[in-house]
Structures are given as structure tokens and as C-alpha cells.
């Protein structure tokens, strides 16, 4: 199929570019590694307390991975802005390439790098020896991570096309991502929050992503979050991919 | 006809205001010719080209490009055209070969076919030597050659070039002209935009002059210039310019007089007289001035340029805009 083939072409190009500069894959891991070694120890005494029933590290590490997916993919639009300026996107839009592929190829590339980084982080966390890992659950959790990355990459690419400037993109992404991150319970579980904040979190799709990741990571496959997260994220992903594709098709570079 | 447009129009809306960038353009481009769209910055050249290459939708009007209806069959248009934008469209961290193979594959070539074609194209654009280096190491001329190479990777019938030589040094510019001619000789029609008079004159088989979104003249460079006059005599006078103008206007052999504003520094106002035969007209013109005791500050006789054509159609000089 043409869409599949074109998506693969765009994907391979993006991946080739990523692999030419592997240093970025490592740089993106630095922040979560700081959190893993410099912040996570603070949570160790919370082990078994409300919100940390699965264990302190078992609760923190899945959240950390979602955070990495959040930041890693929310900023991919920056690369696109540079490509727009160089006329790369314009050049490709004049070819018969499928418009969806232009967007999907880049999104899948982001998902791939996020997956790689998540695996690296899980392995690093395992090496600390401070947590029990339920590997089958980790596999399922990675699906949630991929959906998160997919959705945010689409959002970021769409925004890049609208804003067309790094100077505007930075503040917009930060304004959007910071509150989403804070009320998703990545740092501390939302159960510690006052009721009103918990109510707000109920409307944050990433809250479900974090909770589902924690449940899966600990092997609790039967909780509500485990089915709610993929449904909510899936619906949002479809919506955002549709929206970003339209932006791609109409973009005026 | 490779391109035929009827009343092509583009209105941009920005902050509630409507700007008519292109106001009803009718064009016809033939197979195998170099067609130029000449005009000052902001005249609507690029907008017209972007409409014809499917990048933006016309607000009104119709166009057929390579036999495909622009509005109904954009995919068909895309298959048959190549397009090289002002920015070029290459990425610094990729090699020329990688970009070319990718481009070929975007047009549906197999990997093998794309690789073979890329090797040919690299050879014919003298890029083989740098083919496996990252594009960011290329000189301006090399990069521009790669841009064009990408545009013709799939052997399109028609190639769009948006300001192909802007920003190039004179030598690279001459090379680029040769490339364009070579492409034309191999049967590719070229549609280019330019604001360089010499480029339009030397390179284009036919051209259209565009100003404020409207075509003001169309034809071969020679015919356009002939239409203006056989020759142009530019007479500079320091005072009594209006009087001199009227005197010249009264002469039968002067087709038209174009009076310029006096130069603020020297006070010299230039009157441009369009005549059939400059050499024959000159003595009579001098006698006329002498008879009225007006002494000219300067007299120049020259063949009309495309700038004279532009000046005659719009009342402004394209040269002054730059």
C-alpha cells in the first residue's frame, strides 16, 4: 500500500538522521537518569505508604518513563520547524507522497526513539536492584508509552506547522506540558493531592497513562486504568493525527 | 500546451485583511520551452508558481498543468512536474546520494532504480565527487545543482524553478544558465521566476511580465522589446524638462516620451524617447533642443531592454526597485 510504503520512507529517513547523531538519544536520557539517582532515593521511605503500595521505586520508575516520553516527543516539532525553513517539507509536498505518510513517518520515528530510551531506563532501574520488575507488565506498559509518544509527537508536529518559529514553539510547549506533567502524578502519586486537584487530574489523559503504567509495571493487569488509558489515549491519538495530517497537507512553508 | 491558466487568482487573508496577491492570471506555456515570469519582489511570481505546483490552492480560476486539471487531479500534476523552491529543500546532515535516492523513491521508483538514476543525475550535475558527503559541506553552487538534480530525479515534463540564481555568485549563475539550457535541450520545459532582467532576457524563450499580481506583457524577449521601440534615446536635462518633453512629443518619429523625476543630487531629469531608428533621430533631436536653447546634460542611445518594457507598462523601473 502506498501509505505504508511512503510512511516507511519518511520513517527510515528520520531514523537515519537520528542514528547519524546518536548523542541525542543519550542526551535525552540524562534528565531521567538524574531523577532516577538524585530524586528517587528521597521516595524510598514512602515504600508501602498510600500511593506507594506497589513499592516506592516500582511507583516512581513507570512515571519517570512517561515523563521521558512526554518531553521526548513534545519537542519533535522543533526539528520540523528547521526542516520547514530549509524547504525540505515543501520539496516533499510537491512529490506524490501521501500526506499522511509525511506526518506518520516522523511520528513513528519518535515512538521508536522513545521506546529505545524507555527500555534503557528500565534496564538501568533494574540494575539498581531496588525494585522488582514484572517483565510481562513492562511489555504492556511500553504500549502505553508508545501511545503517549505517538499522540504528543502528532500534537507537536501540528503545532510546529502552525507556529513556524522556535521562539513561539518553546513557550507554547512548556505552557502545555508543565501542568499536564504536574497533575499526572509523575513525581508524587495524586492520592496525596487535595480533592480538587484530584478532580482536575481526572481530566488529564496523562494521569491515566501514568496510573496504567504503574499498574502494569507492578503486574496488576486487571485495574480500570489498564483499559481506560489505552482507550483515552487511543481516541486522542486518532484525533490529533487527523488534525496534524490536515495541517501537513495545507502547510504553507 | 503544458500549462494553461484562466483567471488564476489568489487572495490571502491575514488579520482580517484580504490581500490580492495574484489577480486573474492567464498564461500559456508550451512544451520544451523556457518560460520566465519576470517581476519585482511581491509581484505575485512565487504565489503563481506555488499555485501551479499544487502547494497552495487558487482562490479562483482554472489551470491545466501537464494535461491534468489543477483542482481535480493534483496527484497527476505532482507526478509530472518537478519543483525547486527558493530555499532549495535539502537537509545539511544528509548526503546528496541519500537525498536523491529518497526523492526517486518518493516518486515510486524501486530502490535499485532510484540508486541507478541517482548515480546518473550526480554524474550529469558534476556532483559525483561529493555525492557521499553531507550537504552542509557544499558550496552555494554545488547545493543549487543538487536542488535542481532533486527536481529532475523523476524526469518530469516540466520543471518549476523559483528564483534559481538568487544569491549565487556570477560564475555559479552562468553555470546555472547552462544547466537550464541543457535541460531544455533534452526536452524538459522550464517555468522559472526571476527579478533579474538579464536572466529573463538571456535565458527565457518566452516570458510574461507580472506586476501587482497582473500580467502586463507576454511574448518573446525580442518581440517585447520590439513592441516598445526600435531604440531608446535617453536625454538628460537640468531644467525646462516639461518644455523639452512637449517639443519631443510633437515630433512624428518619436513614438512616446517617458519623463523621469529629476535626480535630487544633480537636478538632471531623464526623458526617455522611444524611436524606430535612434541614429536617424539623434541629429533631429539635438536640433530641436538647440532651437529652444535647451542644453542637454547627457544623451544616451541604447537598444530597449526588458526594463524599458517594464517601465512602459508600469511607469516604474524594475532596476530602481532593487
Residue ranges of domains in chain A: 1-251
Whether the pLDDT of residue B322 is over 50: the answer is no
HSE toward the beta carbon, residue A159, CA cutoff 13 A = 24
Residue A169 C-alpha cell reads as 514553539
The stretch A65-85 carries a mean pLDDT of 91
Whether the pLDDT of residue B267 is over 50: the answer is yes
Domains of chain B with bracketed CATH: 3-90+138-220 (3.40.50.300), 229-303 (3.30.70.260)
Q: How far apart are the first and last CA of chain A?
A: 28
Q: Which band of pLDDT confidence, cut at 50, 70 and 90, is reported for residue B320? A: low
Contact B224, B309 (CB under 8 A): yes
How close does chain B come to A116, measured CA to CA in Å? 22
Whether the pLDDT of residue A5 is over 80: the answer is yes
For residues A54-70, one letter each, b for 16 or more C-beta atoms within 10 angstroms of the residue's C-beta and e for the rest, the string is: bbbbbbbbbbbbbbbbb
B322 versus A227: the higher-pLDDT residue is A227
Is the minimum CB–CB distance between A8 and chain B shorter than 8 Å? no
Residue B146 C-alpha cell reads as 543538487
Residue B204 C-alpha cell reads as 527565457
Contact B191, B156 (CB under 8 A): no
Residue B78 C-alpha cell reads as 505532482
Residue B227 C-alpha cell reads as 513592441
Global ipTM: 0.85
| Inter-chain residue contact A86 with B89, CB threshold 8 Å | yes
Contact A31, A38 (CB under 8 A): no
Cα–Cα distance for residue pair A35/A125, rounded to 1 Å: 11
DSSP three-state, residue B17: strand
| Paired residues of B28 in beta bridges | B4
Whether the pLDDT of residue B23 is over 70: the answer is yes
Whether the pLDDT of residue A55 is over 70: the answer is yes
Most confident of A178-187, B13-22, B115-124, B221-230: B115-124
The stretch A102-110 carries a mean pLDDT of 93
| Inter-chain residue contact B55 with A252, CB threshold 8 Å | yes
Q: Which band of pLDDT confidence, cut at 50, 70 and 90, is reported for residue B312? A: confident
| Inter-chain residue contact B94 with A87, CB threshold 8 Å | no
**pLDDT, tens digit (0-9, with 9 covering 90-100), for B194-236:** 999 889 999 999 999 999 999 999 999 988 888 876 788 889 9
Is the minimum CB–CB distance between A9 and chain B shorter than 8 Å? yes
Nearest CA-CA partner of B178 in B125, B120, B100: B125
**pLDDT, tens digit (0-9, with 9 covering 90-100), for B243-257:** 888 888 888 888 888
How close does chain A come to B116, measured CA to CA in Å? 18
Contact A117, B122 (CB under 8 A): no
Which of A96, A101, A106, A248 is the best substitution to test chain B (most B C-beta atoms within 10 A)?
Answer: A96
The stretch B48-77 carries a mean pLDDT of 94
**Whole-number mean pLDDT of chain B?**
90
Residue B54 C-alpha cell reads as 499544487
Contacts of B295 (CB under 8 A, 6+ apart): B237, B289
Chain B nearest-CA residue for A91? B89
Work out the angle at residue B185's Cα, subtended by the Cα atoms of residues B180 and B188, and round it to the nearest 5 degrees.
Answer: 70
Q: Which band of pLDDT confidence, cut at 50, 70 and 90, is reported for residue A51? A: confident
Q: Burial-class residue B80 by CB neighbours within 10 Å (0-12, 13-18, 19+).
A: middle
DSSP three-state, residue A231: helix
Amino acid at each position: 500500500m502506498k501509505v505504508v510504503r511512503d510512511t516507511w520512507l519518511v520513517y527510515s529517513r528520520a531514523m537515519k538522521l537520528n542514528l547519524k547523531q546518536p548523542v541525542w538519544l543519550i542526551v535525552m536520557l540524562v534528565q531521567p537518569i538524574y531523577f532516577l539517582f538524585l530524586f528517587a532515593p528521597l521516595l524510598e521511605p514512602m515504600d508501602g505508604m498510600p500511593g506507594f503500595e506497589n513499592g516506592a521505586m516500582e511507583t516512581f520508575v513507570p512515571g519517570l518513563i512517561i515523563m521521558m516520553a512526554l518531553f521526548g516527543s513534545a519537542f519533535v516539532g522543533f526539528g520540523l520547524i528547521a526542516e520547514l525553513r530549509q524547504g525540505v517539507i515543501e520539496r516533499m509536498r510537491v512529490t506524490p507522497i501521501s500526506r499522511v505518510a509525511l506526518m506518520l513517518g516522523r511520528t513513528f520515528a519518535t515512538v521508536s526513539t522513545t521506546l529505545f530510551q524507555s527500555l534503557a531506563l528500565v534496564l538501568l532501574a533494574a540494575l539498581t536492584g531496588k525494585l522488582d520488575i514484572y517483565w510481562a507488565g513492562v511489555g504492556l506498559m511500553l504500549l502505553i508509552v508508545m501511545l503517549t509518544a505517538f499522540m504528543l509527537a502528532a500534537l507537536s508536529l501540528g503545532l510546529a506547522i502552525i507556529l513556524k518559529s522556535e521562539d513561539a514553539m518553546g513557550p507554547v510547549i512548556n505552557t502545555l506540558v508543565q501542568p499536564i506533567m504536574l497533575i499526572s502524578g509523575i513525581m508524587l502519586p495524586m492520592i496525596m493531592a487535595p480533592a480538587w486537584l484530584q478532580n482536575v487530574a481526572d481530566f488529564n489523559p496523562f494521569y491515566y497513562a501514568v496510573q496504567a503504567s504503574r499498574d502494569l509495571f507492578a503486574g496488576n493487569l486487571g485495574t480500570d486504568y489498564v483499559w481506560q488509558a489505552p482507550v483515552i489515549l487511543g481516541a486522542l491519538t486518532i484525533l490529533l493525527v487527523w488534525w496534524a495530517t490536515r495541517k501537513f497537507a495545507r502547510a504553507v512553508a | 500546451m503544458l500549462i494553461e491558466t484562466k483567471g488564476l487568482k489568489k487572495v490571502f487573508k491575514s488579520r482580517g485583511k484580504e490581500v490580492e496577491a495574484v489577480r486573474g492570471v492567464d498564461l500559456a506555456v508550451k512544451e520544451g520551452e523556457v518560460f520566465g515570469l519576470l517581476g519585482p519582489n511581491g509581484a505575485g511570481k512565487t504565489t503563481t508558481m506555488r499555485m501551479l505546483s499544487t502547494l497552495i490552492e487558487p482562490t479562483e480560476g482554472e489551470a491545466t498543468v501537464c494535461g491534468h486539471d489543477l483542482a481535480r487531479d493534483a496527484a497527476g500534476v505532482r507526478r509530472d512536474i518537478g519543483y525547486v523552491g527558493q530555499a532549495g529543500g535539502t537537509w545539511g546532515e544528509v548526503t546528496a546520494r541519500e537525498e536523491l535516492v529518497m526523492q526517486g523513491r518518493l516518486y515510486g521508483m524501486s530502490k535499485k532504480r532510484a540508486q541507478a538514476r541517482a548515480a546518473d543525475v550526480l554524474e550529469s550535475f558534476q556532483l559525483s565527487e561529493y555525492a557521499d558527503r553531507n550537504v552542509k559541506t557544499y558550496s552555494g553552487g554545488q547545493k543549487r545543482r543538487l536542488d535542481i538534480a532533486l527536481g529532475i530525479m523523476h524526469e518530469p515534463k516540466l520543471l518549476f524553478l523559483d528564483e534559481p540564481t538568487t544569491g549565487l555568485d556570477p560564475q555559479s549563475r552562468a553555470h546555472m544558465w547552462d544547466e537550464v539550457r541543457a535541460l531544455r535541450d533534452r526536452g524538459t520545459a522550464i517555468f522559472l521566476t526571476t527579478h533579474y532582467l538579464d536572466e529573463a532576457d538571456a535565458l527565457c524563450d518566452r516570458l510574461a511580465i507580472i506586476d501587482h499580481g497582473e500580467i502586463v506583457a507576454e511574448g518573446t524577449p525580442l518581440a517585447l522589446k520590439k513592441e516598445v521601440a526600435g531604440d531608446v534615446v535617453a536625454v538628460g536635462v537640468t531644467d525646462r524638462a516639461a518644455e523639452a518633453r512637449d517639443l519631443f512629443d510633437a515630433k512624428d518619429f518619436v513614438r512616446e516620451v517617458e519623463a523621469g523625476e529629476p535626480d535630487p543630487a544633480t537636478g538632471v531629469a531623464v526623458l526617455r524617447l522611444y524611436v524606430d531608428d535612434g541614429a536617424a533621430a539623434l541629429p533631429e533631436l539635438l536640433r530641436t533642443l538647440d532651437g529652444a536653447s535647451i542644453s542637454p546634460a547627457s544623451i544616451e542611445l541604447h537598444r530597449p531592454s526588458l526594463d524599458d518594457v517594464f517601465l512602459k507598462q508600469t511607469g516604474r523601473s524594475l532596476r530602481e526597485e532593487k
